[in-house]
Amino acid sequence: MAGTKTVAEQLASFAITQANFPDAAVNEAKRIILDQLACQVMFAVSPWSVAYLDTVKALGAGKGATVVYHGDQLALDQAAFVNSAFGHGGEFDDTQLASNTHSGAVIVPTALALAENRSLSGQQALESIIVGLEVMVRVGAGAAPHLDEHGFHAPPVVGPFGAVAATCRALGVDEATCVNAMGIAGSHSSGTREYTRSGGTMKRIHCAIPAMSGLRSAVMAAHGITGPRTIIDGDRGILHCFAGEYDLSKVTDGLGADYLMVETAYKPITSPWPAHAPLEAFGWLIDEHHLKPEQIATIEVGTSSQAMKNIQTIKAPRDIMDAQYSLVYGLAVRLFRGGNKFRDYREEDLADPRFLDVSRKVTIKLDPVCDEERLRLNNRSAVVTVVTTDGRRLEKRVQFSKGHPKNRFSNDELTTKFVDAAEPLIGAERTKQIADAVWNIEQLKDASSLVKLTVPGNKAS
């Protein structure tokens, strides 16, 4: 594929012409679709999600695709935006750790909006999703870890290219049009991690923005608008400007043969991934030693430098978003609520002095082992040490927390996650229909049924 082609041209060729996807990529795409629909349904009713839906409607909504759960008809790009905001709305969606991306929340809502608008079959939607996921994580992998170290959040920077790939595949445009779409998409790249410093629910649209902008970029290109073919690898392209240092081989080597998207992690708890290992280790210590709050003198967390940048700044959260990004508060949630699922983060606890007291006992420091493993193993490990009031020093190290590809969720476990998330809102029958349809998506004549089934009362089948 390489030759003298630019990176955008190589990615466009893959997105448009690739056939015969390996079984591992097909299965992983189904896993990502199901996980993403779990998140979209579960967080469709969250206050911030409803606020995003109301915002789009206030701006003047069109028709073309369905909003998950609520059933509103919105313009194609608006529906992708809103459903993506739901899908990234609770720190529960997939993470591809080699690229620091949440690809499902960008690509799945984009492809399913197109599926409804363009009457795509399940096979067509599946292919659109696979190429979108792969393009997004490859551009992210090429930029990692430097993109994150410069303070940028990968999904809104690299996500537009994945959304372009998915959209161009769905629209059936030619390679030249897809190259132009990528050139246009680069002008939409943005998004910093300042929310890790002072919060804000706008972080929950950091996948919605690239979903919408990538889709728009592809439609613009289909109507003759052009963009630079060197947008990714040029001296003023996104890798140079945003990451500074980058590795083009991770973007293009093995493209079409090796699929990075199969190494996707899935979340058992609603926290950013760097918090998973310390929360899991702390939970193990609590359970193993039957620890009570009054027995804990101090908590020491050893982790990587990257984790310290993203989960240690917020000490006294003001809202649930802050709480999810505060590791010290998350440890208190695990101690008093027994877990770190979304229901365990409660508004009434934010001012509870018991939670703040535990938070003050936490010290977060750099652990050399965790720092070295982060890049070599892409694992986000942690070591937690609890010193008890009677002088015991209890330690637990977690190298691969639950959901990591090396400690993976089985297909059955992902189905259970979907059922737990969706059934309370849409009922057992609809939940089972959707799960069965996703695992057999190639057989769907109309892929739009996946979204329509999430709407209570809708007669989709």
Angstrom distance (rounded) from CA 94 to CA 108: 11
Distance between CA 265 and CA 377 in Å, rounded?
13
| Tens-place pLDDT, residues 436-456 | 999 999 999 999 999 999 999
- Residue 386 CB neighbour total at 10 angstroms: 23
How many secondary structure helices (H) and strands (E) does the chain include? 21, 6
Amino acid in the structure at residue 325: Y
pTM reported for the whole predicted model: 0.96
What is the pLDDT tens value at each position of the chain, 461 positions in all?
445 899 999 999 999 999 999 999 999 999 999 999 999 999 999 999 999 999 999 998 789 999 999 999 999 999 999 999 999 999 999 999 999 999 999 999 999 999 999 999 999 999 999 999 999 999 999 999 999 999 999 999 999 999 999 999 999 999 999 999 999 999 999 999 999 888 888 899 999 999 999 999 999 999 999 999 999 999 999 999 999 999 999 999 999 999 999 999 999 999 999 999 999 999 999 999 999 999 999 999 999 998 888 888 888 899 999 999 999 999 999 999 999 999 999 999 999 999 999 999 999 999 999 999 998 999 999 999 999 999 999 999 999 999 999 999 999 999 999 999 999 999 999 999 999 999 999 999 999 999 999 999 876 54
Domains of the chain, first to last? 7-262 (1.10.4100.10), 273-401 (3.30.1330.120)
Cis peptide before 274 (omega within 30 of 0): no
Average predicted confidence (pLDDT) for the chain: 96
Give me the amino acid identity at 375: L
Three-state secondary structure along 311-378? HCCCCCCCCHHHHHCCHHHHHHHHHHHCCCCHHHCCHHHCCCHHHHHHHHCEEEEECHHHHHHHHHHC
* CB neighbour list of residue 181: distance below 8 Å, 6 or more residues apart: 12, 164, 167, 168, 173, 214, 217, 218, 220, 221, 222, 227
Residue 460: what pLDDT?
Answer: 55
In angstroms, rounded to a whole number, what is the distance separating the alpha carbons of residues 90 and 354? 24
- Whether the CB-CB separation of 221 and 184 falls below 8 Å is answered with yes
